Amino acid sequence: MSDNIKVSVRLRKPLERESAERVIAQVVSENLIKVEQRAKREETRNFEFDLCCTYSESLEEDQAQLYEQLARDYLLHALDGYNTCIFAYGQTGSGKSHTMTGSAELPGIVPRMCQELFEVREMYESSDDQASTQFKIRCSYLEIYNETVRDLLGANKCRIRERADKTTFVEGLQEFEVNSVDEILDYLRQGSERKTVGATLVNEQSSRSHTIFTINVEQKENSPLGHVLERRSSIRLIDLAGSERANASGATGERLKEGSNINKSLSTLGRVIAMLAKKKQPRLIPYRDAALTWVLKESLGGNSKTCMIACVSPCDFEETMSTLRYATLARSVKTFAQLNTQETVDGKVQMLAMRQQLDELQGALSRVGDQRLVREQMEKIKLTNQFLEARIERERRAAVDYYSQYAQASSERDNLVQVLSSIVSSLQSFDGGKIRESLVALKQRSEEIGKQLEADHLEIRGAIEACPSIDLQ
């Protein structure tokens, strides 16, 4: 299933140090954001996206609204059996971590999705439906720091590998099976505490690495007749480190190195998206040029339903314009999501179920009080079928006889018309008025007889076709 990357824009609320006079971005409608250049207020650029979210006085409502309008659909896609991916992109300090992870008081997309996933699991497993569904949920958490993949939930060394089918995976990454929402949120909290953050002039809690929280969901649905439907899906929730300018962030030393590697990986991501957005894609896409794009190969151009959330600042014209141009390009990228399902039949279970149904039918028949009445009804049905069978045979023979007579009459009519036509043609040069008129009248009469035969044929044929279809068994 081919589908474009869905792109949403989220406009951050101005900070206390940002005056209202410096605001250059404004969400005009659900799908339109407007950007004005401060030096030239008359120059306005409009950008259209799948969803544009602004801020309100209630941060809790803003977080809940974004999840309900955007992220919930990707949980539903995953439950259907599709791989999904949501990643937040933007400059440092634009609200990416707030959008994806949030806080205990203002949870973001990741904890809300975990909460709803286990609510769905509980609903399925406690359902009274005959079909039963079992869930197996596992999670992992990694970061890409200075082009090195690190497991945030374990101590193993991780490397990016490629399978025979050209998909990639992280070797050495630990996965943990979880059975409750508290358990998965505890893993999320542990990993978030271990990820690399640092202070810059732009953001006191700036993410210095890209983080990927992955939830793998396996569903096994068993029907009473032995049909087994298995669904497998992967949900990738990604918080990208922010693009930054060294002169604005004031980074030096280790922070400068981190910023350089962040910008390098984001630049590679931009080149990959630009190539994937072309109608005629080049044969070689530079996924391997950065660890980030190598890990996200399937999410960017493969088997995934992917969404990008472009987080923008309301007061930084250059960075906001750069992010919006980047997001516009991403809308042209197509992915090819496929249902990861497998249906099998358990023959032993199916046989037992059919035997049980047969026993129930036999029991129902044994409880019929008047067996004589049942036999009489069956005899009546048999006689009725014989009568209908004989009637259909008579009508079939009548139809055959009629078609034979009709064919013979049609042939004789055609011969007569030909004879009359030749006679009329031969008399065109003679002045035998009455004879010629009589012959013309005879020809017209012949044609009227032919039309009447044709009308009778259509009427009888319609009556035959209108006979109901009868089951003779």
Helix/strand/coil for 141 = strand
Tokens, residue 310: 């472009």
pLDDT band of 471, cuts 50, 70, 90: very low
Residues 204 and 335 in one domain: yes
The reply to whether 72 falls in a domain is yes
Give the per-residue pLDDT at 472.
Answer: 36
For residues 452 and 310, which has the higher predicted lDDT (pLDDT)? 310
Give the per-residue pLDDT at 257.
Answer: 83
Residues 72, 120 contacting (CB under 8 angstroms)? no
Q: Cα dihedral angle (363, 364, 369, 370), rounded to 10 degrees?
A: -120
Segment 252-286, tens digit of pLDDT:
677 788 888 888 999 999 999 999 998 888 888 99
DSSP one-letter string for 305-345 = EEEEEEEE-SS-HHHHHHHHHHHHHHTT-EEE----EEEEE
CA distance readout (Å), 152 to 89, 99, 141, 195, 288: 21, 20, 5, 7, 22
pLDDT band of 355, cuts 50, 70, 90: low
Looking from the CA of 168 toward its CB, the CA atoms found within 13 Å total 19
Residues 174, 140 contacting (CB under 8 angstroms)? yes
For residues 218 and 202, which has the higher predicted lDDT (pLDDT)? 218
Residues 265 and 384 in one domain: no
88/66 Cα distance (integer angstroms): 13
By percentage, how much of the chain surpasses pLDDT 90? Answer: 46
For residues 134 and 371, which has the higher predicted lDDT (pLDDT)? 134
Helix/strand/coil for 424 = helix
The reply to whether 363 falls in a domain is no
Report whether 91 belongs to an annotated binding site: yes
pLDDT band of 306, cuts 50, 70, 90: very high
The reply to whether 460 falls in a domain is yes
pLDDT band of 132, cuts 50, 70, 90: confident
pTM for this predicted structure: 0.71
Chain Cα centroid distance, residue 71:
14
Residue 124 reports pLDDT greater than 90: no
Domain count, the chain: 2
407 lies in which domain range? 372-465
Residues 336 and 450 in one domain: no
Residue 326 reports pLDDT greater than 50: yes
Residues 434 and 392 in one domain: yes
92/247 Cα distance (integer angstroms): 13
Quote the longest CA-to-CA distance of the chain: 123
Residues 242 and 296 in one domain: yes
The reply to whether 361 falls in a domain is no
pLDDT band of 108, cuts 50, 70, 90: very high
Report whether 473 belongs to an annotated binding site: no
The reply to whether 358 falls in a domain is no
Report whether 94 belongs to an annotated binding site: yes
* CATH number, domain with residue 133: 3.40.850.10
Q: Cα dihedral angle (265, 268, 273, 274), rounded to 10 degrees?
A: 150
Q: Residue 272, class by beta-carbon neighbours within 10 Å (0-12 exposed, 13-18 middle, 19+ buried)?
A: buried
Residues 380 and 313 in one domain: no
Report whether 95 belongs to an annotated binding site: yes
Report whether 157 belongs to an annotated binding site: no
147/258 Cα distance (integer angstroms): 9
DSSP one-letter string for 197-236 = EE--SS-TTEE-SEEEEEEEEEEEEE-TTSEEEEEEEEEE
Report whether 93 belongs to an annotated binding site: yes
What are the phi and psi torsion angles at 307 (to 5°)? -130, 135
Give the per-residue pLDDT at 302.
Answer: 86
Q: What is the mean pLDDT of residues 182-204?
A: 84
Segment 285-305, tens digit of pLDDT:
999 999 999 999 999 988 999
Give the per-residue pLDDT at 316.
Answer: 86
Report whether 96 belongs to an annotated binding site: yes
pLDDT band of 448, cuts 50, 70, 90: confident
Q: Mean pLDDT score of the chain, rounded to an integer?
A: 82
Residues 257 and 380 in one domain: no
Give the per-residue pLDDT at 433.
Answer: 61
pLDDT band of 429, cuts 50, 70, 90: low
DSSP one-letter string for 233-279 = EEEEEEEPPPB--HHHHT--THHHHHHHHHHHHHHHHHHHHHHHTSS
The reply to whether 359 falls in a domain is no
Residues 121 and 47 in one domain: yes
Segment 206-244, tens digit of pLDDT:
778 999 999 999 999 887 766 788 999 999 999 998 876
Residue 130 reports pLDDT greater than 70: no
CA distance readout (Å), 86 to 57, 135, 363: 26, 22, 56
Residues 297 and 388 in one domain: no
Per DSSP, 21 falls in state G
Residue 469 reports pLDDT greater than 50: no
Residue 467 reports pLDDT greater than 50: yes
For residues 403 and 92, which has the higher predicted lDDT (pLDDT)? 92
Give the per-residue pLDDT at 281.
Answer: 81
